[in-house]
Structure 1
Amino acid sequence: MNEPVTSESYAAQVRRLADLTERVSAQRAEAHTWYDQQCSAARRAVADAGDQVRRAERELAAARELQERVDAEVRLLWQELRGRLGSAGRRAGGPPGPVGGATGDPLPMLAAVRDLLARTGQPGELPGSVNPLLVLCGVVGAAVAYALGTAARTAGDRYGGDLAVGMPVLALVVTLLGPLVGLVPAKLVADRRHAVLGPRPAAIVVVAGLATTVLLLTVPR
């Protein structure tokens, strides 16, 4: 038979059950708190990861835009360089590829290349060694204009009529423009030497052409 439980033992069991219940409640509350903290930390981690992904996407888009800009600038600069090199540049092929492990902002380097090409590509003044050639341009230009004027006057005298009136006028205009005709071949000479036909070379051509024209007009025919 079961022995009766004393009141003291029953009270002790009740207190023990209450203690266990309180301890379980505390552990359950602690577990809920830990779970909520872990969920909050996980949400923060997900949000931070999302921010990092969006930031990485923006950086990637900016990097791609910069790459396209750099590639386009490199192609333009390479094309300009090939044009400067002439036939040697046509054999150079395409622009060089990127160097592995290169660091730094490419834009300042491209700006330096543009500045270097601009400074080296500036046409200079024609040297004094081409002065005889400039004089020859002025003489030949004036002589050609004088020859055309003479041919116009001859045609007017030969065919008569209105041509006899108009052709001498045309011949006079062509002859007077003779000192300027030499500027055309002189400009070609300057272009071939990648130089500018400045005031000094142009003056040499015009003076030589003017002297030739005056000499041809004053020489008895």
Structure 2
Amino acid sequence: MNQPVPSETYAAQVRRLADVSERVHAQREEARAWHERQCAAADRAVAEAEERVRRAERDLAEARELQERVDAEVAHLWQQLRERLGAAGRRLAEPPAPTSGVDADPVLLLDRVRELLDRTRKPGELPGSTNPLLALCGVAGAVLAYALGAAARAAGVGYGGDLAVGMPVLALVVTLFGPLVGLVPAKVLADRRHAVLGPRPMIVVLTAGLVTTVVLLVAGR
């Protein structure tokens, strides 16, 4: 027959079972907490990866937009350069390809090119080497005005009457405008040379015209 289990042994087995159950429960809780931490970390990693993907897509879209703007501005500036060069510019084909390995902001580079084109667009003053031509313009204007004045005086003498009184006055006024007449061919000269008829060229023209007018008036007495 089976012998009954002593009460001390049974109590020890119950305590051992309780200890085992407590350890199992603690391990389960630890495993559950670890699993939750892993899931949270995985969720954070996925969220961060998705954010990086969205940021990369935004950067890509901005880069494409910048490239389109840069390409359009390059084409516009290249066309301006071709127009500025005239016949020589027509031999230029497409804009040069981008240079690899250049780490610079294309917008800043285009701004510098635009400033350079703006500076070349602004005409400068006629150089000093054109002073003889400017003086010749002044002389020619004075001679032309004096010739018109002489013709007016001759017409007054020929027709007589009131014209004989008024035409000499008109002739004198036309003659005195002679130095200003020289500014017209001087302006044409400046335009052909893509320059500005500034104060110095105007002084040269007016001085030459004034001297010529005085000489002609003195000689015509």
TM-score greater than 0.5 by the shorter chain: yes
Gaps of 5+ in 1: none
Instruction: Return the alpha-carbon distance in structure 2 between the equivalents of residues 161 and 20 of structure 1.
Output: 146
Of stretches 157-166 and 69-78 in structure 1, the one that deviates more from structure 2 is 157-166
Partner of 1:178: 178
- Look up the match of 1:141: 141
In the superposition, relative to structure 1, how do residues 142 and 57 fare at CA in structure 2: closer, same or farther (>3 Å)? farther
Partner in structure 2 of residue 6 of structure 1: 5
> Residue 127 of structure 1 aligns to which amino acid in structure 2?
P
**Deviations 1:72-92, CA, capped at 9 Å, x for gaps:** 553454344334322212332
- Tell me what 1:34 maps to: 34
What are the Cα deviations for residues 43-75 of structure 1, in whole angstroms up to 9, with x where unaligned? 322332344345435544554554455445534
Shift in CA distance, 40/204, structure 1 to aligned 2, threshold 3 Å: same
Residue aligned with 1:87, SS: coil
| Number of equivalences | 220
- Residue in 1 that maps onto 2:208: 208
Unaligned 5+ runs, structure 2? none
The 1:35–1:153 alpha-carbon spacing in structure 2 relative to 1, beyond 3 Å, is: farther
Cα offsets for 1:189-218 (capped at 9, x unmatched): 233334433333222211221233334444
Query: Quick one: which amino acid aligns to residue 196 of structure 2?
Result: V
Larger mean CA deviation between 105-114 and 132-141 belongs to 105-114
TM-score by length of 2: 0.71
Deviation, structure 1 residue 38: 1.3
Looking at structure 2, the residues matched to 19 and 207 of structure 1 have their Cα atoms a distance apart, in angstroms, of 121
1:1-221 pair list within 5 angstroms: 6-7=5-6, 14-15=14-15, 17-57=17-57, 59-60=59-60, 62-64=62-64, 66-67=66-67, 70-71=70-71, 73-114=73-114, 116-117=116-117, 123-150=123-150, 171-220=171-220
